Structure 1
C-alpha cells in the first residue's frame, strides 16, 4: 500500500504506536508534565508545552488526560503514589506503633531520589497556584485523611490526622524544598526519633 493509499487517522487520536493500551506514551506525557509544571509553574505550563516535551501531538495529551487541571492531577497522583500508601502503613500493625511506622515510611519516600524528585516537582507548582493547591488538597483529603481519621480513637480524629500529616509534610518542606539548616542535613534517624512520638501523640493521645 502506498502512502497515498494508507488510511488516515483522525486528528488527535493515537496512532498504532500510541495505543491507549500502551504505557509508554502515557508515562512520557506524565514525565513531561511534571517537568513542565516544575520549571514553568502551574500558570505558565501549557498543554502545548507538555506535548512538545513528550514529543506528541497536543491532542494526544487531551486524549489521555483532558484539560490542564486533569493533567496536573494525574501527574500529582502519579508522583505521590508512594505517599498515598499512608493509611495502609498506619494500619499494618498495632496503633500504638503507628507514629514511628508513619514517620519512617514518609522519610523513606523523601530520602529516595526516585520517589522524591517527581513529588517535589508537582508540590512546587502547588505552592504557587491556588488551582494547583486545591487539586493537591483534594487529593490529600480523599486519599489520606478520609481514610486515616476513621481509624483513630477519641474525639477530633480528623483534626488529629491532619496534625500528624502536617508534622511530617512541614518537616519535609523545610528539609527538602526550603533546605533550612541544620534540619536539611540532620541525620534521618535522629529526625525519626524526635518526630515519631509527636506524630503518635496526634494519632492516639487526644487532649482531655
Structure 2
C-alpha cells in the first residue's frame, strides 16, 4: 500500500501477491477485511487479551494485561509500525474507520465479554481508552515521564486505572 489505502485496490494487492483478486475477496471479503487481517498479524491485541484473560481474572487481569501490551508495544519490530498505523489513521478517515472497526471487534468487544453486565461496552470503551492513552503518550507523543518509565513503573501507576475500567459498578 505504498500509494496509500485509498489508492490501493484489492486487484493490485492480489497482483503483488501473485493471486487472483477474487481469492482475496473470498478469504477477506473486502479491502478493509484484508487490512484487518494484516492488523491482526501485526498487533494481535485480541490474542493478547484472550491469552491473559485465560490465566488471570479479577484484580490480576489489569496488571498482567498491561504488562503484556507493553511488552508487545516495546518490540523494536512492532513499535514503529504501530506508530505509523496511528499516524495514518489520524490523516485518513477511511483508514481511521477500518482501524476503529478492528479495535472495536478485537478489543472493546472482548473487554466487554470479560466484564459482563449491562454497562460492559461502556466500561470496555474506558479500558480501551486507558490502553490507547498509554500507547499514545509513551510511543507516539513520547510524553515524559511515561516515555522513559520502566514497564513495571507503568504497570504500578496505570493498572489501577485500567482495573477500575474493567470492573462493573454496583448500582
Which of the five TM-score ranges fits, normalised by the shorter chain?
0.7 to 0.9
> In structure 2, how many angstroms separate the alpha carbons of the residues matched to 1:96 and 1:60?
47
RMSD of Structure 2 on Structure 1 (CA): 2.9
What SS is found at the alignment partner of 1:113?
coil
2:143 counterpart residue number: 180
2:86 is matched with which residue: 112, 123, 127?
123
Aligned counterparts, 1:1-208, within 5 A: 33=1, 36=2, 41-43=4-6, 46-47=8-9, 57=16, 60=19, 62=21, 65-66=24-25, 68-81=31-44, 83-85=45-47, 86-153=49-116, 155-204=118-167, 206=169, 208=171
> Residues 87 and 127 of structure 1: is their aligned pair in 2 closer, same or farther, counting only changes over 3 Å?
farther
What SS is found at the alignment partner of 2:55?
coil
2:63 and 2:155 in contact (8 A); partners too: yes
| Structure 2 gap ranges (5+) | none
2:24 and 2:34 in contact (8 A); partners too: yes
Number of aligned residues: 165
Query: Per-residue CA shift, 1:171-194, capped at 9, x if unaligned?
Result: 111211122223222222211100
What SS is found at the alignment partner of 1:104?
helix
1:75 and 1:122 in contact (8 A); partners too: no
> In structure 2, how many angstroms separate the alpha carbons of the residues matched to 1:41 and 1:78?
19
2:111 and 2:166 in contact (8 A); partners too: no
1:73 and 1:135 in contact (8 A); partners too: yes
| Structure 1 gap ranges (5+) | 1-32
Greater radius of gyration (CA):
1
Offset of residue 107 of structure 1: 0.5
